[in-house]
Amino acid sequence: MGEGAAAFVLETLESAQTRRAPILGEILGSGLACDAKHIVQPDQAGQIKAVRKALAMAGVTPDQLDYVNAHGTATEIADVVECGTLQAVLGPATERVPVSNTKAQLGHLMGATAGVELAVTLLALEHQTLPPCRNLEHPDPRCALNFVRGAPQPARLRVALKNSFAFGGTNCALVLAAPPDPDPA
C-alpha cells in the first residue's frame, strides 16, 4: 500500500492557449467499460472494450502509440489478464510499444492510483522519458510485452495509452498526447 494524490484542471485546448496556461498534455480519447464479473478478479473482455473505445475515440491505431502506462498491479492474475489485453489490442505493435507501470515504486494507492499514474504518464510525455518497471527482473513468459526495465529511458513520445482497472470490473483507458508546442511560429 502507498499514499499519494493528484489533481488536474481540464479545459479546452483553445481556452488554455488563450490564457497561456502551461499545458501538460491533451486527452485525445477515453474508454470506459464495466464488466462487473467479479469484485477483484479482472476480466479481459471489459479491459479490451475500454482500450479499444479510447483508441477509436482518439482516432489512434496501435502503431501510433509510443508508450503504455499499464495498470500493473503486480498480482499474477491481474498482470496476466492485462498483458493479454494489450496483446489482443496492440497486435504486432506489442513488440515495439514500450510498457511500464509505477506501483513497484509508489505502492498501490487505491483511490488515488489512477490520478497519480496519469500524472506519471503526463510527465513521461513532457520529459520525453520512459519510466521503468522497478524490480522486474524475470517477466512472466505469458506477458510478452516490451517492458521498460532498469533505468528511465529517453524516447520520442507523442501518444500514450494509460490503463486504469479497478475493483468491481471498472475499466478505464485514456489516450494522451504530448503538450503542443506553445508557440509553433
In whole angstroms, what is the distance from residue 178 CA to residue 184 CA?
14
Provide the pLDDT for residue 183.
58
- Can you read off the three cell numbers belonging to residue 173? 483507458
- Using an 8 Å Cβ cutoff, are 166 and 42 in contact? no
pLDDT (0 to 100) of residue 155: 97
- Record the pTM: 0.92
Residue 115 counted as domain residue:
yes
**Is residue 47 in some structural domain?**
yes
From first to last of its 185 residues, the chain has per-residue pLDDT tens of 888 889 998 999 899 999 999 999 999 999 999 887 777 778 899 999 999 999 999 999 999 999 999 988 777 888 899 999 999 999 999 999 999 998 777 777 777 788 889 999 999 999 999 999 988 888 889 999 999 999 999 999 999 999 998 877 789 999 999 987 765 55
Dig out the grid coordinates for 172 from the structure.
478505464
Strands 98-100 and 67-69: parallel
Which of these, 122, 130, 162, lies nearest to 29 by C-alpha position? Answer: 162
Please report the pLDDT score of residue 35 as a whole number: 82
Q: How far apart are the first and last CA of the chain?
A: 47
| CATH at residue 63 | 3.40.47.10
75 in a domain, yes or no?
yes
Cell 464488466, residue located: 35
Query: Does residue 16 lie in a domain region?
Result: no
Element of type H or E holding 26 = strand 26-34
Classify residue 58: in a domain, yes or no.
yes
| Cα separation, 114 vs 71, whole angstroms | 8
Q: Is residue 12 part of a domain?
A: no
The order of strands in the sheet holding 26-34 is 26-34, 170-177, 159-166, 67-69, 98-100, 146-147
Closest residue by Cα to residue 114 from 179, 39, 38, 32: 32
Bridge partner list, 11:
none
Domain that holds residue 37: 23-177
Has residue 46 been placed in a domain? yes
**For residue 82, what is the DSSP state?**
H
Write out the DSSP string of 27-52. Answer: EEEEEEEE--S-SSS--HHHHHHHHH
Tell me how many domains the chain contains. Answer: 1
Is residue 39 situated within a structural domain?
A: yes
